[in-house]
Amino acid sequence: MASIAYVTDQQMIEFHRLNGNSEINFWRPSSSTKKFADFHEGDFLFFLAKGTERGRKREKGIVGYGIYHKSTQMKFEQMWRKYKTLNGYPSKKTLYEAIVKVSKTKKMPEILNCLELKQVVFFQSPLYLSDIGIKISNQLESYFYLDRSHTNITSRILVEAEKIGIDAWSSMYHEKDSMRFQYDAYSSVVSSALEKIHELTYTGKELQNAAKLIRMYQKNIEGTSDLISKTCLLHFHKNKTDICMPLLPNDLNLCKAMIAQALWLLHEVDQNFPDRLNTLLFISEKPLKKELQSFLEALKIQTVIMKQP
């Protein structure tokens, strides 16, 4: 999961916020064919906005983020026809003037790089990276790969942003944004925690069975769920989150390793979200032995039997 801080114009961000745009086109005024490297669907792009500077160092604040969907290259006319006001300006004329103003040549570039973002969220107030011990140059004029020099940066930003809260105005347009924001923060913490864990030694068939169990369970539950990895699913309730993982009881050593890793993962989550009810739920393809079932119950770990067809 990559994350980029991108310097952008506060006026454009304010237009998106006031219009409740949860999907936007984030254009780049460049005729260059250079694209973001190591940036894929589902990655985070944080808005580092001009106009939010504070202190002697004029540090810019992050005012929200969007989830990267895809990138394309278009001419100006094509871009306006496809996205219209989702480009961040109320008319074709004002958009044209804005692009020319920030273009190095002060002319309309022949080609514009377009980043289509979804699930856009705006914060109640700016978040400053220095407040969580992260420093980037205040001379930055384009973008910066946050996670190339800072570990777990996405989850750290989202956990801190949750304290600030989602923008009240934009949430009036999309009631689910507040919950989506919480899901993003939670999922990011779990993803970062999973990256710290040494991968279990599955055989090809074991991994196939484990992944199938999780997918089957996801199809049989209601509500919001995020598949974090092939073998980890998050199931969100109102103020409760189930961390769902497979349990393959045939191999006792593998079973013990699964339980140990799951408990460590739960510990990481509890530290970041102490106010939520975070529970572990193991999915097994057959009933567990009495001793193992008793052990899991003592640890307050729930189990579900999901027989494969």
Task: Report pLDDT for 206.
Answer: 83
* Number of independent structural domains in the chain: 2
Q: CB–CB of 129/136 below 8 Å? A: yes
- The owner of tokens 């899901």 is 183
Token pair listed for 122: 């705006």
CATH of residue 140's domain is: 2.30.130.30
Q: CB–CB of 288/308 below 8 Å? A: no
273 pLDDT above the threshold of 50: yes
Q: What is the mean pLDDT of residues 300-309?
A: 81
Task: Determine the Cα–Cα distance for residues 167 and 4; give it in Å rounded to an integer.
Answer: 21
- The owner of tokens 């961390």 is 243
Pairing of strands 232-236, 240-247: antiparallel
Same domain, 154 and 248: no
Residue 265 belongs to domain spanning: 198-305
* End residue of a domain, out of 137, 167, 189: 189
Q: CB–CB of 240/250 below 8 Å? A: no
Task: Determine the Cα–Cα distance for residues 197 and 232; give it in Å rounded to an integer.
Answer: 13
Same domain, 222 and 259: yes
* End residue of a domain, out of 189, 217, 240: 189
Q: CB–CB of 166/181 below 8 Å? A: yes
Same domain, 232 and 130: no
Same domain, 25 and 145: yes
Quick check: pTM over 0.85? no
Burial class (CB in 10 A: 0-12, 13-18, 19+), 156: buried
Task: Report pLDDT for 233.
Answer: 93
Q: CB–CB of 65/120 below 8 Å? A: yes
More confident residue, 122 or 133: 122
Task: Report pLDDT for 1.
Answer: 57
198 pLDDT above the threshold of 80: no
Least confident of 55-64, 70-79, 189-198: 189-198
Same domain, 177 and 56: yes
Same domain, 216 and 137: no
Same domain, 229 and 184: no
CATH of residue 299's domain is: 3.40.1350
DSSP-derived secondary structure letter, 166: B
Token pair listed for 198: 């040494």
Residues of the chain above pLDDT 70, percent: 90
127 pLDDT above the threshold of 80: yes
Beta bridge partners of 121: 65
Task: Report pLDDT for 33.
Answer: 45
Task: Report pLDDT for 132.
Answer: 85
Residue-wise pLDDT for 85-111, tens only, equals 999 999 999 999 999 988 888 899 989
Same domain, 49 and 180: yes
More confident residue, 33 or 132: 132
Neighbours of 191 (CB within 10 A): 18
Task: Determine the Cα–Cα distance for residues 192 and 212; give it in Å rounded to an integer.
Answer: 23
* End residue of a domain, out of 171, 189, 207: 189
Same domain, 147 and 265: no
Same domain, 37 and 107: yes
pLDDT band at 276 (very low <50, low <70, confident <90, very high): confident
Task: Report pLDDT for 172.
Answer: 62
Same domain, 156 and 55: yes
Task: Determine the Cα–Cα distance for residues 127 and 64; give it in Å rounded to an integer.
Answer: 9
Same domain, 183 and 203: no
